[in-house]
Chains A and B, each alone.
Chain A
Amino acid sequence: MNELLMPFQYDFMQRAFLAALCVGLLCSVMGTYVILRKLSFIGDGIAHASFAGIVIAYLRGIDYYVGAAVVAVATAVGIGFVHRRGKISLDTTIGVLFTGAFALGVFLMSRQRSYAIDLQSFLFGDILGVGRGDLLLILGLALAIAIAVVILWRGLMYTSFDPVVAQASGISAEVHEYALLVMLALTIIVSLQSVGIILVAALLVTPAAAAYQLTSRFVPMMVLAAVFGSVSTVGGLYLSYYLGSSSGATIVLLATGLFFVAMACARLSRILRRSA
């Protein structure tokens, strides 16, 4: 029994598990909107764009996460603005802006002689390196986003389903779109340290997509997604401790596994219902 609790004896592991739980819940709740708005691309987009922020922060000697957050939020707002003013699809806008921001990051870095940034930890995450200050930042941002979800969830859902009619009834599709983009940007920043730039998109998409297989109601979908998300992050971290594997990769693989299990369950229940 003690052996099973072994990972929890270290302070850094406790912090890592708390961060993992936070990130799992947050990403999957926001992921519900991502799936329903068909924005699967956005996680990748904002995460890659934030790379420019990390490089700029390094060059200016400020905190990496502040740099990443500023650029991520700016990119998110920029995506909303170009999409609305340029009458270009959201998908295309994301593609244009995120590659631009990512290239800016690569460009700035390529002009440096030495790379002092630990790129590996940003690309693939370093959840075991979450310090006390990092954890406070994660908890604070997660709380802020959770409050925003509680306040905006109805409007976000209505404008996801039927933006035109929602707008006519006085619920602004534009305001909710910008709010969602900013919330997504902050969610991605919170998650960067845990799973990294490359894999954060999976946490936004996979748990919610798994939940979508199993229910045809909105609130159950969000709750199920939160369960899948937190099981993936906490379980993945736990598994990685014993397997000696990369935590980010293990988390995402577990989420992917859960997705296929959910898909199989959905198929099975359809077959059973048909034969009943």
Chain B
Amino acid sequence: MKDVHQHHDALAHEEAVVVRDISVRYDTVLALEGATLTVCTGEALGIVGPNGSGKSTLLKSIAGLLTPARGSIEVFGKSPKSLGPGSIAYVPQVEAVDWSFPATVRDVVSMGRFSRLRPWQVFGSRDRDAVERALEAVHMTDLADRHIANLSGGQQQRAFVARAIAQDPQVLLLDEPTTGVDAKTEEALRVVVRHLVAHGLPVLMTTHDLERVEEWFDRLLVLDRKVLALGDPAEVLASGAYASIREHTHTHGHMRHDRA
């Protein structure tokens, strides 16, 4: 994990996610209006904005979970729904799963491999290796056999990030993975994400934490139903768009409760 920027220059940066002028509607509410952006391979895009600004909606649309009323989304030249299985890994903001489901951390991370396997294929050594590597990346090897109900909020978050990594996706979508986790977990996640980005993975991630965006991201998107700003994190931070958003998030920003 040391030389995170090792391969950075070697990779040709091609367009991975192209979002053109999309509008997304929930019944009568317009959650996103005319959003346009591009994310290349080997690039981490941070998405900030107040609650209800459409951050999660943007990620869900790219994941193919929502269909825009207008505009188009292409992931490596294809619509999200026509992509091959395993292409997109998505880590939602709040995991609304049944925590009493009979599964250990390793079982959950193993699910990341399911989209990579045809029904008749056996879960083989290659899959097991990917699972162990993913567990290692988020420092959860020693917790691998623990039942998911017995994890803290930060550990749960790391387990779901590990599941996404084990999938070996072409695009990684993270919805506020750092909300409610401690500083150590956040740093561990940042190292993992930067490592993946250095190896060419395009990452889109929403966050409420505006303090460390320059360390996390190559570019920053400020969203409030519309794209307010998009560019170099330092430049976006210096712009007025950031200031107005910061006001907003500091008054409305919320912390997720730890489940420990």
Report A's interface with B, CB cutoff 8 A.
Answer: 36, 38, 151-152, 154-155, 157-158, 160-162, 164-171, 212, 215-218, 220-221
Cβ–Cβ < 8 Å partners of B89 in chain A: 168-169
Complex formed: what's the CA distance from A216 to B151 in Å?
A: 14
Contact (Cβ within 8 A) A217 B64? no
Q: Residue of B at shortest CB range from A169?
A: B115
Most chain B Cβ neighbours within 10 Å, of A162, A164, A215, A221: A162
Contact (Cβ within 8 A) A36 B101? yes
28 contacts between A and B (CB under 8 A): A151-B119, A152-B119, A155-B119, A157-B111, A161-B97, A161-B103, A161-B111, A162-B97, A162-B111, A164-B90, A166-B111, A166-B115, A168-B65, A168-B89, A168-B90, A169-B87, A169-B88, A169-B90, A169-B112, A170-B83, A170-B86, A171-B85, A171-B114, A216-B103, A217-B104, A218-B102, A218-B107, A221-B102
B215 within 8 A of A: no
Cβ–Cβ < 8 Å partners of B119 in chain A: 151-152, 154-155
Cβ–Cβ < 8 Å partners of A212 in chain B: 102
Encoded as 1 (CB less than 8 Å from any A CB) or 0, chain B from 70 to 99 comes to: 000000000000011111111110011110
B63 within 8 A of A: yes
Cβ–Cβ < 8 Å partners of A217 in chain B: 102-104, 107
Most chain B Cβ neighbours within 10 Å, of A166, A169, A171: A169
Complex formed: what's the CA distance from A161 to B117 in Å?
A: 18
Q: Residue of A at shortest CB range from B169?
A: A169
Cβ–Cβ < 8 Å partners of A165 in chain B: 90-92, 160, 163
Contact (Cβ within 8 A) A161 B101? yes
Contact (Cβ within 8 A) A169 B117? no
Complex formed: what's the CA distance from A154 to B118 in Å?
A: 10
Looking at chain B's contact residues, is the secondary structure mostly helix, strand, loop, or mixed?
A: loop
Complex formed: what's the CA distance from A161 to B90 in Å?
A: 15
Complex formed: what's the CA distance from A157 to B97 in Å?
A: 12
CB contact between A158 and one of B88, B96, B111, B160 (< 8 Å): that residue:
B111
Contact (Cβ within 8 A) A162 B65? no
Q: Residue of A at shortest CB range from B113?
A: A154
Complex formed: what's the CA distance from A158 to B167 in Å?
A: 13
Q: Residue of B at shortest CB range from A155?
A: B114
Complex formed: what's the CA distance from A158 to B111 in Å?
A: 6
In the complex, what's the smallest C-beta–C-beta distance from B99 to chain A, in angstroms?
Answer: 10
- Beyond the given A158-B114, A162-B95, A216-B104, could you list 15 further A-B residue pairs with CB under 8 A, ordered by the A residue number? A158-B111, A161-B101, A161-B108, A161-B111, A166-B111, A166-B114, A167-B63, A168-B65, A170-B84, A170-B85, A217-B102, A217-B107, A218-B101, A218-B102, A218-B103
Complex formed: what's the CA distance from A218 to B85 in Å?
A: 23
In the complex, what's the smallest C-beta–C-beta distance from B144 to chain A, in angstroms?
Answer: 13
Contact (Cβ within 8 A) B114 A154? yes
User: With A151-B120, A161-B97, A162-B95 in contact, is A169–B102 under 8 Å at CB?
Assistant: no
Q: Residue of B at shortest CB range from A160?
A: B101
Q: Residue of A at shortest CB range from B88?
A: A168
B199 within 8 A of A: no
B147 within 8 A of A: yes
> Nearest 4 pairs between A and B by C-beta?
A170-B85, A168-B90, A168-B63, A169-B115
Cβ–Cβ < 8 Å partners of A38 in chain B: 98
Complex formed: what's the CA distance from A36 to B86 in Å?
A: 24
Encoded as 1 (CB less than 8 Å from any A CB) or 0, chain B from 101 to 145 comes to: 111100110011011010110000000000000000000000000
Contact (Cβ within 8 A) B86 A169? yes
Contact (Cβ within 8 A) B88 A170? yes
Q: Residue of A at shortest CB range from B89?
A: A169
Interface residues of B in 21-37 (CB under 8 A from A): none
User: With A158-B114, A169-B88, A170-B85 in contact, is A164–B65 under 8 Å at CB?
Assistant: yes
Cβ–Cβ < 8 Å partners of B96 in chain A: 164
Complex formed: what's the CA distance from A221 to B103 in Å?
A: 10
Q: Residue of B at shortest CB range from A212?
A: B102
Complex formed: what's the CA distance from A165 to B24 in Å?
A: 20
Complex formed: what's the CA distance from A212 to B102 in Å?
A: 8
In the complex, what's the smallest C-beta–C-beta distance from B31 to chain A, in angstroms?
Answer: 17
Interface residues of B in 147-189 (CB under 8 A from A): 147, 160, 163, 167, 169, 173
Interface residues of B in 221-235 (CB under 8 A from A): none
Q: Residue of A at shortest CB range from B150?
A: A216
Q: Residue of A at shortest CB range from B59?
A: A168
User: With A155-B114, A165-B91, A170-B88 in contact, is A216–B65 under 8 Å at CB?
Assistant: no
Contact (Cβ within 8 A) A164 B92? yes
Cβ–Cβ < 8 Å partners of A162 in chain B: 95, 97, 111
In the complex, what's the smallest C-beta–C-beta distance from B205 to chain A, in angstroms?
Answer: 15
Cβ–Cβ < 8 Å partners of A221 in chain B: 102
Complex formed: what's the CA distance from A38 to B98 in Å?
A: 10
CB contact between A167 and one of B65, B87, B169 (< 8 Å): that residue:
B65
Complex formed: what's the CA distance from A115 to B105 in Å?
A: 57
Complex formed: what's the CA distance from A220 to B147 in Å?
A: 14
